[in-house]
């Protein structure tokens, strides 16, 4: 599996949109306070820590396959101070838990994996009987306007040499595909929904910050010395077509796949 060079500190500064969506998702968990929870693709740990605040008598484990993210999470939320919160380097396609969790949660992470079969099989094994999942990720059509801008840019001669054999890396599933995968794995489905969301970024810099910290499948392939220029060009092209609003905010139309399911 291809690994990307996440800059955890930069991500921490430019992920307010992801945090806001995660907070809405955490509310939907209706936690009672004693659950054991797994957070898949926990990133810089701030969302995992937010979940831990909801379960003072439970535990939360955040896993991520980026060492930069896990190191930053452990630094900001040390086990000595956050007794019910831990972080571990692990890939979501290779989970090693057996009936340990009441709840498995994930925000803005699983679309980084193209084939979700091994993920869902590992998640099903990791749940206790009666356990449940609530996950949200990019779904079919997500960030389509950014992807169209990228498609145009990567054909320009300057970038073509780095991106010419680019393969779309994301697992942006639709509801039918995901329903079938959940059923095959044995889940009892409660809800599989595609949600349209307006992602708001703070002006041109906010948009560029989000691109720099999350569009790594593209930016990682551009040499470091030229990366800022590539991001500037993409930001300018996108804003040319979708200008800032009257408050100076940038908007990106996103589509999220949200899933609730359980294990009997």
Residues contributing to the site for ligand SAM (CB under 6 A)? 1, 6, 15, 18, 22, 41-43, 47, 64-66, 69, 91-93, 107-109, 112-113, 214
Q: Considering beta carbons, is residue 108 or 192 the nearer one to ligand SAM?
A: 108
Q: Considering beta carbons, is residue 47 or 211 the nearer one to ligand SAM?
A: 47
**CB-based closest residue to ligand SAM:** 43
Q: Considering beta carbons, is residue 11 or 187 the nearer one to ligand SAM?
A: 11
* Long-range CB contact pairs, 215-224, < 8 A, 24+: 215/146, 215/150, 216/4, 216/5, 216/6, 217/2, 217/4, 217/166, 217/169, 217/170, 218/150, 218/154, 218/163, 218/166, 220/4, 220/5, 221/162, 221/163, 221/166, 222/159, 222/162, 222/163, 223/162
Q: Considering beta carbons, is residue 10 or 244 the nearer one to ligand SAM?
A: 10
The nearest distance, CB 69 to ligand SAM, in angstroms, is 4
The nearest distance, CB 84 to ligand SAM, in angstroms, is 18
Q: Considering beta carbons, is residue 166 or 170 the nearer one to ligand SAM?
A: 170
- 3-class secondary structure for 92-103? CCCCCCCCCEEE
Strand, helix or coil for residue 197: strand
The nearest distance, CB 45 to ligand SAM, in angstroms, is 8
The nearest distance, CB 6 to ligand SAM, in angstroms, is 5
Q: Considering beta carbons, is residue 112 or 159 the nearer one to ligand SAM?
A: 112
The nearest distance, CB 3 to ligand SAM, in angstroms, is 8
Dist CA 204 CA 232 (whole Å) = 9
The nearest distance, CB 40 to ligand SAM, in angstroms, is 7
Dist CA 106 CA 88 (whole Å) = 15
- 3-class secondary structure for 23-82? HHHHHHCCCCCCCEEEEECCCCCHHHHHHHHHCCCCEEEEEECCHHHHHHHHHHCCCCCC
């Amino acid at each position: 599996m291809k690994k990307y060079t996440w800059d955890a500190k930069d991500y921490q500064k430019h992920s307010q949109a992801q945090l806001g969506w995660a907070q809405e998702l955490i509310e939907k968990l209706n936690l009672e306070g004693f659950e054991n929870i797994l957070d898949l693709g926990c990133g810089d740990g701030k969302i995992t820590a937010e979940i831990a605040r909801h379960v003072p008598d439970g535990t939360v484990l955040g896993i991520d396959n980026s060492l930069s993210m896990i190191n930053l999470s452990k630094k900001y939320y040390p086990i000595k101070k956050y007794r019910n919160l831990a972080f571990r380097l692990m890939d979501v396609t290779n989970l090693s838990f057996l009936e340990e969790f009441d709840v498995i949660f994930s925000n803005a992470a699983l679309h980084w994996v193209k084939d979700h079969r091994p993920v869902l099989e590992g998640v099903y094994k990791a749940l206790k009987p009666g356990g449940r999942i609530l996950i949200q990720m990019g779904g079919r059509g997500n960030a389509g306007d950014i992807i169209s801008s990228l498609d145009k840019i990567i054909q320009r001669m300057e970038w073509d040499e780095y991106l010419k054999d680019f393969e779309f890396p994301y697992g942006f599933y639709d509801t039918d595909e995901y329903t079938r995968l959940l059923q095959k794995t044995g889940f009892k489905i409660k809800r599989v929904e595609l949600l349209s969301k307006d992602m708001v970024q703070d002006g041109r810099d906010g948009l560029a910050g989000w691109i720099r910290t999350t569009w790594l499948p593209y930016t990682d392939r551009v040499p470091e010395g030229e990366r800022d220029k590539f991001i500037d060009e993409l930001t300018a092209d996108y804003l040319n077509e979708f200008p800032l609003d009257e408050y100076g905010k940038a908007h990106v139309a996103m589509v999220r796949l949200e899933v609730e399911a359980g294990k009997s």
